[in-house]
Structure 1
Amino acid sequence: MARGTQGTSAGSDVGGGTKRPRRPSVVDSPNHRWWVLGVVALAQLMVVLDATIVNIALPSAQTALGFSNGNRQWIVTAYALAFGSLLLLGGRLADLIGRKRTFLIGLVGFAVASAIGGGAPSFEVLVVARALQGMFGALLAPAALSLLTTTFTDPGERAKAFGIYGAIAGAGGAVGLLLGGLLTEYLNWRWCLYVNLIFAVIAFIGGMRLLRAGTPPDRPTLDLPGAILVSGGLFCIVYGFSNAERHPWGAPSTWGFLLVGVVLLVAFVWWQGRARQPLLPLRVVGDRDRGASFLAMFISGAGMFGVFLFLTYYLQRTLLYSPVKTGLAFLPMVAVIMIVSVTTTNLLVPRYGAKPIVPTGMLLSAGAMAWLTALDRNSTYAAHVLPPLLVLGVGLGMIFATGMNLATAGVKPRDAGVASAMVNTSQQVGGSIGTSLFNTLATSAATRYAAGKPPSAAVAAQAQLHSYSVAYWWASGFFAVGFVVTLLLYRRGVPASLSDPTAQGGAAV
């Protein structure tokens, strides 16, 4: 769509047409799309950082509420289970009932759930609140990205918008670590949840003012069997990998859930090829560039959340950093991700396409993970931690913004929500699986290292370092697989959907 015609299409969410007289507002401004970007980016930041902000607060919350070490992981898992398993359904609801409505409902629900969690008097209430956060986040995240997809259809503006959005998606986890450390150390662990109220109120006011109600005129009906199959399948997959942290791989509670999850997802794919109006139309994932982007988000999500977890433990337990100092240690990587994301989508992808960009990002990320395996008790931040973090920031910056852009480029307006949900699902499920898998492998490695050695503080410390190294090697392997996959799948050259605004499927602002 030409830049001058944006904001006039009927049945859209931003600047949709209405013939009733109204007073001039910010929606009438030529810059209103950038205000929309600010609103959806703020909402996305809230959702992404919430995956890590509570990690820093867990020890304080455990002391205050008195729950066991065995139950501690449910504070994280409850959010991941609800969020990861319901994302596709949330994305389709955005296509069905309207992106503005879904976005605002998600904001209000997320804020209420955060308030309940912040005031939780018991472990059980906190777990329920985290699950509710995940459920409403599954509404909010795909609605936010689909709003961005249908708002920015001009190739130049789209590149800038997705560069900023990709930077936020890539850096949000690290921002969560820093913010969680600041709030826990200087206020109270409960503020790691209460802070979402501030984000939500600002985004809600902006959304009410900037976004217009509307749904595609040819909106699909809800594929209920598909929703049940994919939600159940994703739940079982995430739960099975989470269970592997506490039970052996041979336990029925681990492999049983994984097997059921795979069966349900296979049944889901089979059903999507036969349903009249499928939840996830195969045309959305059938495009090579789009499919490669979904896989890139999955693999990078697994690797990124893995490094946040183990490097956080290393900084706090080995180098004895405070929560705030730990968060600050990630800031240089955050800055690099943001700079590279914006530069890549504005300068490199429009000229060369995704094929040389994303595989290079995978290769750099694999190298950075391998570099981290050299860390030991005598390592220093400036000489040994910072350099691989900066390389990882360059790699992730090349992957995230490019992957998000191509994963949603060229989709029809009626599929924008579910395509956006697939991006979030890929990253979230990848992060959940990566965190659980790497943690299980690291724990097993530490146990094997300490076996047969006389118990001592030095042996325990070295066992932990060995476990981190094992996790980094596995993460490096994930990125290496990502390099091969994206190198083979991405087409050469600039996709037509990025160079030609008419190839955006008629998406409107």
Structure 2
Amino acid sequence: MGVPAVTEPRPLAMSEPAGRRLLATTVLGSGMGFLDGTIANVALPHIGDDLGADLAGLQWVVNGYTLSLASLILLGGSLGDRLGRKRVYAWGVAGFAVASVLVAVSPTIGMLVLARILQGVAAAALTPGSLALIQSSFRQEDRMRAVGAWTGTLGIATAGGPVVGGWLVGIDWRLAFWINVPLAVIVLVLLRSAPESRDPHKMAEIDWRAVVLAPIALAGLTWGLTAWPDSGASATTVLSLVVGVVAGMAFVVAELRESHPMVPPALFASRDFSVINVVTLFVYAALSGSMLFLAIFLQVSAGWSPLEAGAATVPISVLMFFLASRFGALATKFGPRSLMVGGAAVLAAGFASLAFAPNDASYLTQILPGVVVIGLGLSILVAPLTGTVLAAVPDSQSGLASGINNAVSRTASLIAVAVLPLLTGLSGTAYQNPEAVGDAYRASMWWCVALVLVGGGLTLVGLRRRSGAPTGAT
């Protein structure tokens, strides 16, 4: 039996208190995930020292979370459309707080990875819900602006995460994860007055084949790629990769045959939707890989404290806070393609600048310029990208579209964290060697340049000039 339809409330405007309150609610909830990710990157060297973990173990601290998030975020978006976006969002926020406590008290690297996996499960419910609430609650002419404001305001979390997290990590890395608990309480209080919405035409059936096959595919590929630097082409590594590939192919076949697929193939009939998701894969792989390597490089090779390493990326968040909403408005007026291509070129220039930093890097002359350029590139790129992927589908499927795009971005991060150490020759306990980390860092930045340029080229060739503007789809 399907869930009864909910009478849709009046669309909100950005200028009214209810609209601003909803925006704050979605920003704070999403901010927990962003903040947690930046804290994890800064904390990795200290986690390794405290728990005696090798590089593969530290990779799984990041990838355990990303794996469960990427695997289940499609289910989270779909459940939001079925059961109510506000309801599923609240479940995710509460679950994330509980899992954060488990992370903070983990006594071993194995328990820590398990707790991070549970965090990812909760994040799969809250992450797609934030953008879906914006898309379904705001009036059409305010949506791209609201997405831009959401993107920019999240700069507060991504700015505060490395600074506050770095300070706490310098005391004890476990303290940095407790911050999610009071944030979750605030979100749940604010969420009480938010409007509820769901897709009344959504069937109640769950595509369980997809739910099972997606994590098997991603886990197999991630395990094999993470183990390869230490184990090479061992039987276990090769078997893991084969299982991942076979499960991925089975996932595609299952979705083509499923009567109510979790990832409807019809969505990809939209050229814009397909192109934007491929571009997302390349751009977010570069972004995730660069930020991970920069955080480790600044602490291990440059000898900075966790607070200094975290604060180094604050200009990115500040620029996005002030500029992202403005570029979102420009995308609404002129179309997103030119902005996205330009943003990708600027972002690539920022990564290239960081690639020249020596081990004894000066912040003012060798790190800050690249960080500022990266912040400008992301400000130009992210809001048009996010708005376009939502505008490419009917409003009733906004939760699903958000889930797919988020799954792609998280999968990109998963692949980057697993593959870049392999490509740059970093393995075992080499993350404690300043020279080895420095060489791997510089090589990783050039790989990130290439990834972003591919994404910009695909945007130029594949995206329609006026895509992403309001279309009136319902």
User: Partners of 2:124 and 2:153 in 1: how far apart?
Assistant: 17
The 8 Å contact of residues 337 and 394 in structure 1, kept in 2 or not, is answered as: yes
User: Partners of 1:483 and 1:258 in 2: how far apart?
Assistant: 29
Q: Sequence identity of aligned pairs in percent? A: 28
1:446 positional shift: 12
TM-score w.r.t. the length of structure 1 is: 0.84
1:490 positional shift: 0.7
Q: Does 1:242 align with 2:237?
A: no
- The aligned counterpart of 1:499 is 470
Pairing partner for 2:6 from 11, 14, 20: 11
- The aligned counterpart of 1:142 is 128
More moved, 65-74 vs 202-211: 65-74
> Structure 1's 167 and 401: CA in aligned 2 closer, same or farther, altered over 3 A?
same
TM-score w.r.t. the length of structure 2 is: 0.90
1:99 positional shift: 1.0
Pairing partner for 1:480 from 453, 466, 470: 453
User: Partners of 1:447 and 1:190 in 2: how far apart?
Assistant: 22
1:484 positional shift: 1.3
User: Partners of 2:158 and 2:239 in 1: how far apart?
Assistant: 31
1:156-195 matched pairs, under 5 angstroms: 157-167=142-152, 175-186=160-171, 188-195=172-179
The 8 Å contact of residues 358 and 399 in structure 1, kept in 2 or not, is answered as: yes
More moved, 111-120 vs 252-261: 252-261
Q: Does 1:370 align with 2:352?
A: yes
Q: Does 1:49 align with 2:35?
A: yes
Q: In structure 1, the residue corresponding to 2:304 is in which secondary structure?
A: coil
User: Partners of 1:211 and 1:196 in 2: how far apart?
Assistant: 24
> Structure 1's 381 and 106: CA in aligned 2 closer, same or farther, altered over 3 A?
same
Gaps of 5+ in 1: 1-9, 18-25, 449-456
The 8 Å contact of residues 170 and 397 in structure 1, kept in 2 or not, is answered as: no
User: Partners of 1:191 and 1:389 in 2: how far apart?
Assistant: 27
Q: Does 1:116 align with 2:99?
A: no
Pairing partner for 1:230 from 175, 200, 214: 214
More moved, 51-60 vs 368-377: 51-60
1:80 positional shift: 1.7
Q: Does 1:438 align with 2:442?
A: no
Give the residue type in structure 2 aligned to 1:271: A
The 8 Å contact of residues 111 and 196 in structure 1, kept in 2 or not, is answered as: yes
User: Partners of 1:72 and 1:479 in 2: how far apart?
Assistant: 25
Give the residue type in structure 1 aligned to 2:248: L
Pairing partner for 1:469 from 422, 442, 447: 442
User: Deviation string for 1:401-460 (max 9, x for gaps)?
Assistant: 111111111533442221111121111111121122112222259999xxxxxxxx9xx6
Q: In structure 2, the residue corresponding to 1:177 is in which secondary structure?
A: helix
1:323 positional shift: 0.9
Q: Does 1:412 align with 2:404?
A: no
- The aligned counterpart of 2:113 is 127
> Structure 1's 227 and 181: CA in aligned 2 closer, same or farther, altered over 3 A?
same
Name the count of aligned residue pairs: 467
User: Deviation string for 1:47-74 (max 9, x for gaps)?
Assistant: 1222231233344445555556653433
User: Partners of 2:436 and 2:36 in 1: how far apart?
Assistant: 30
The 8 Å contact of residues 174 and 331 in structure 1, kept in 2 or not, is answered as: yes
1:265 positional shift: 2.6
> Structure 1's 282 and 69: CA in aligned 2 closer, same or farther, altered over 3 A?
closer
1:247-396 matched pairs, under 5 angstroms: 247-248=231-232, 250-346=233-329, 348-396=330-378
User: Partners of 1:252 and 1:173 in 2: how far apart?
Assistant: 41
1:165 positional shift: 2.1
- Where does structure 1 differ by over 6 angstroms across 4 or more consecutive aligned residues? 445-448
The 8 Å contact of residues 74 and 403 in structure 2, kept in 1 or not, is answered as: yes
Give the residue type in structure 1 aligned to 2:35: L
Gaps of 5+ in 2: none
CA RMSD of aligned residues (A): 2.9
Larger radius of gyration: 1
The 8 Å contact of residues 146 and 416 in structure 1, kept in 2 or not, is answered as: yes
- The aligned counterpart of 1:154 is 140
